[in-house]
Amino acid sequence: MTLVLPLLAWLVAVAPTARATPDALLRRTEGVLGRDEVVGGGGAEQLARSLVDREQWDVAAPAWAAARDAGADPDTAWTWEVVSLVESEQWELAQLVALSALAEAPTDDQRHLLYGWLMCRAGAERGARRIARLRHDEGGGDQGAGAAVLELRALRHAGRAGSWARARRRLLRTGSPDAWLWMESSIGHFLSRDPEALVDLERAVQAPQATGQHVAAAIDLRAAVGDHRRAIDLALAGLVRFPDDRALGARAAIAATHPEAAAWLDEVLHAAPDRAEAYELRGARRLAQGDAAGARDDLATAVALGRRTASVRGLHATALAELGLDERALSVLDEATDAFPDHDGLARERLELARRVGSPGARLMAAEAVLRAAPEAPSAELEDGAIQDALLLGRPDELLRWTERALAWRPHSELALRARAVALGQLQRPDEALDAWETVHARLPTDPDVLVGFAGFLLSPGGALSPDPARARSLARRAVELRPTAGSLQVLAAAAWALGDRDEAVARQRDAVRLSPDDDGLKRRLQLYTGELP
């Protein structure tokens, strides 16, 4: 149930469209990801995951089919193919793929539940009920409980209130109801305006299998019927039981914005001023209402009282950032990601803030935090940003690590290829660096940056095993022809000087100074060439 239920929230009934052909898939994938990523790729599964990350569902569906054919985990590939088809409004095809998956693994409980639910939402209630009854008959435990929930949902979506009520009575009498069954029972009662809905949802919250989702639903229902005190009590208990459920926290904060709820929360704090979770909830509420200063104070108090959860720290950083205290917010997130190195959400918040206000060093450290939290989720944006920051900072070890990570699944990334060559040169690994520069030059023979970088490497006594100023001058001249810059002219001047051509060295260095008259380094180099410096 853990994988199935979060996915179910995405699924809505829509109209079918056609599936892409293989050639069309390739063209559309290149349009989304870029040709380099597709041609090099990290395998079919990585391309499919990249399309899901970009929510390009119509292309993702056939990409997951290709990934499955290429050896990706079948359960993952089948599931994401069906979800992608649903998201791209291809319901009929989603049902066909679902049935194909069931034919391949007819006893897999997770697939039965997911695909039965899909068919239920698409209108095939009887098909969903057959699957549910089949799973219910095959065994108890999680399988039977999951099937029971699906059976009730199918009947509810079919509008068969009488059958739903009879099935509920039978399932409660013959099985061991869990939190999900009580929640489904509550939904059905709520839709029929039966006050038993409140009782069922309380049972769901108290069940051992309850999650933050159950508590959030109970909060919403209590608020909907005007019982704001109970909504706040449920919210506070839920924050203690599920301290880092951000979705629960957000729903609790919304419920706390009602005047009656806000007044009751203030009374709770007045009676028990050491309840850290109450300060967290009031801080979240104030943040939702635009009171960043009040939120900052409440969240700081929650932390001081010992509530140092990932959720509180993230909210505290958000409040500080909204007050313009970006450096303090970044410091809070730095400490939070150190305390919760596996928390992907905190790491990405830190990176987003670092990109907005931080130095290259802060951005690079934030990117490392994201990598620690989600090492199996490569991102071109993350890697390219880290590569650029490592280049700016002149950190070859980190630069090489990021480039090799990028090239593992994007072997034709031009930025990563250039940066890897730079890193190897800086690390005094001349043979590898020369091979890297030859590779990137063969791929990008007219790129001025590549030409200048390669020329600079060939001039460096600490880089190339045997400096080659003649080839360096040829490369630099071509770069100047394509795009004259102070940098390319300086490299051309250096190559001429290494070859003993003083006149060209002086002329090209003067050209560089003219393009960048405020650069003292260029001026000193010119004085060296003219003999004005010893």
Question: What's residue 436's pLDDT?
Answer: 94
Sequence-separated contacts (24+) of 219-222 with Cβ below 8 Å:
219/251, 219/252, 219/255, 220/251, 220/255, 221/186, 221/190, 221/197, 222/198, 222/255
For residue 456, give the nearest of 444, 468, 443 by alpha carbon: 468
Average pLDDT, the chain: 82
CA atoms within 13 Å, Cβ hemisphere of 164:
22
Question: What's residue 182's pLDDT?
Answer: 85
**Is the sign of the CA dihedral 366, 370, 372, 375 positive or negative?**
negative
Q: What is the DSSP string of 329-369?
A: HHHHHHHHHHH-TT-HHHHHHHHHHHHHH--HHHHHHHHHH
Residue 470 CB: number of other CB atoms within 10 A?
12
pLDDT, one tens digit per residue, over 349-376 is 999 999 988 889 999 999 999 989 888 7
Mean pLDDT for 103-127 is 58
Q: Tokens at residue 426, please? A: 């800086």
Q: Tokens at residue 174, please? A: 């013959």
| Residue 147 or 275, more confident | 275
Given the structure tokens 């001026």, which residue do they identify? 523
Question: What's residue 121's pLDDT?
Answer: 56
Would you say how long the chain is, in residues?
534
pLDDT, one tens digit per residue, over 15-32 is 223 333 434 433 433 444
The whole model's pTM is what?
0.67
- Residue 385 burial (10 A CB sphere; 0-12, 13-18, 19+): buried
Distance CA(353)–CA(421), nearest Å, equals: 30
**Is the sign of the CA dihedral 282, 287, 289, 291 positive or negative?**
positive
Distance CA(452)–CA(63), nearest Å, equals: 39
pLDDT band for position 123 (cuts 50, 70, 90): low
pLDDT band for position 192 (cuts 50, 70, 90): confident
Q: What is the DSSP string of 103-169?
A: HH-TT-HHHHHHHHHHHHHHT-HHHHHHHHHHHHHH--HHHHHHHHHHHHHHHHHTT-HHHHHHHHH
- Residue 500 burial (10 A CB sphere; 0-12, 13-18, 19+): exposed
Distance CA(29)–CA(67), nearest Å, equals: 13
Q: At what angle do helices 326-339 and 310-322 cross, to 10 degrees?
A: 170
Distance CA(190)–CA(480), nearest Å, equals: 74
pLDDT band for position 60 (cuts 50, 70, 90): confident
Indicate the residue type of 93: L
Say yes or no to pLDDT of 273 above 50.
yes
Whether the Cβ atoms of residue 490 and residue 522 lie closer than 8 Å to each other: yes
Question: What's residue 29's pLDDT?
Answer: 37
Whether the Cβ atoms of residue 446 and residue 455 lie closer than 8 Å to each other: no
Say yes or no to pLDDT of 134 above 60.
no
pLDDT band for position 454 (cuts 50, 70, 90): very high
Q: Tokens at residue 268, please? A: 């709770």
| The 3-state secondary structure of 180-191, one letter per residue | HHHHHHHHHHHH
Winning range, highest mean pLDDT, from 19-33, 110-124, 273-287: 273-287
For residue 496, give the nearest of 520, 516, 512, 517 by alpha carbon: 512
Residue 50 CB: number of other CB atoms within 10 A?
24
Whether the Cβ atoms of residue 160 and residue 129 lie closer than 8 Å to each other: no
Indicate the residue type of 463: G
pLDDT band for position 159 (cuts 50, 70, 90): confident
Task: Tell me how far apart the terminal alpha carbons of the chain are, to the nearest angstrom.
Answer: 77
pLDDT band for position 534 (cuts 50, 70, 90): low
Q: Tokens at residue 80, please? A: 């994401």
pLDDT, one tens digit per residue, over 251-262 is 999 999 999 999
pLDDT band for position 194 (cuts 50, 70, 90): confident
pLDDT band for position 457 (cuts 50, 70, 90): very high
Question: What's residue 26's pLDDT?
Answer: 39
Distance CA(293)–CA(258), nearest Å, equals: 20
For residue 478, give the nearest of 467, 488, 470 by alpha carbon: 488
Distance CA(176)–CA(187), nearest Å, equals: 19
Say yes or no to pLDDT of 14 above 90.
no
Distance CA(418)–CA(193), nearest Å, equals: 65
Whether the Cβ atoms of residue 286 and residue 295 lie closer than 8 Å to each other: yes
